[in-house]
Amino acid sequence: MTRDMICVSCPIGCALHVELDDAGNVLSVSGNTCKRGEKYAIDECTNPVRMLTSTVKVNGGKLPVVPVKTSAPIPKGKMFECMKAINNEVVDAPVKMGDIIISNVCDTGVDIVATNEV
Ligand code: SF4
């Protein structure tokens, strides 16, 4: 089977073509103009990850929510579960930029951190 995707590792956006075997193993990558594109295609086919940004409710602050993000990319398959954890979280003001809001969210090994102050 094959997959076509755009490499988002840089603004050039090369069109990648990936050939996979029936087990989902990558056999070849083409269309990339550098090694980062090959790595992107392999990761995207075998273990896709994404950064997650959202907001968390704040009690007693000047604003009702604080913006947050994951401290590193998380597996794409965990996005929905992590969003539920973020939506269920409520913190008390004051919140400082860089505060860990949720440690090891959904056993990903990644923290949810505040990206602003409230
Ligand atoms: S393959 Fe290389 S040059 Fe092409 S978009 Fe990806 S990082 Fe940029």
Cα–Cα distance measured from residue 70 to residue 30, given in angstroms and rounded to the nearest whole number = 31
> What is the distance in A from the centroid of ligand 1 to the CA of 9?
6
What architecture is domain 2-47?
A: Single Sheet (2.20)
Phi, psi (deg, nearest 5) at residue 102: -135, 125
Nearest to 15 by CA among 2, 24, 27: 2
Q: Tens digits of per-residue pLDDT, 91-118?
A: 999 999 999 999 999 999 999 999 999 9
Domain limits, CATH 2.20.25, in the chain: 2-47
- Which residues have C-beta atoms less than 6 Å from ligand 1? 7, 9-10, 12-14, 32-34, 36-37
Model pTM score:
0.82
> Which residues, other chains included, contact 110 with Cβ-Cβ below 8 Å and sequence gap of 6+?
70, 71, 72, 73, 74, 104
pLDDT band at 12; cut points 50, 70, 90: very high
- Which CATH number fits the domain 53-114, given the four candidates 3.40.640.10, 3.10.530.10, 3.30.70.1350, 3.40.50.2300? 3.10.530.10
Q: Tens digits of per-residue pLDDT, 20-52?
A: 999 999 999 999 999 999 999 999 999 999 999
Whether omega for the bond prior to residue 94 falls within 30 degrees of 0, making it cis, is yes
Domain limits, CATH 3.10.530.10, in the chain: 53-114
Nearest to 80 by CA among 91, 92, 72, 88: 88
So what's the pLDDT on residue 81? 97
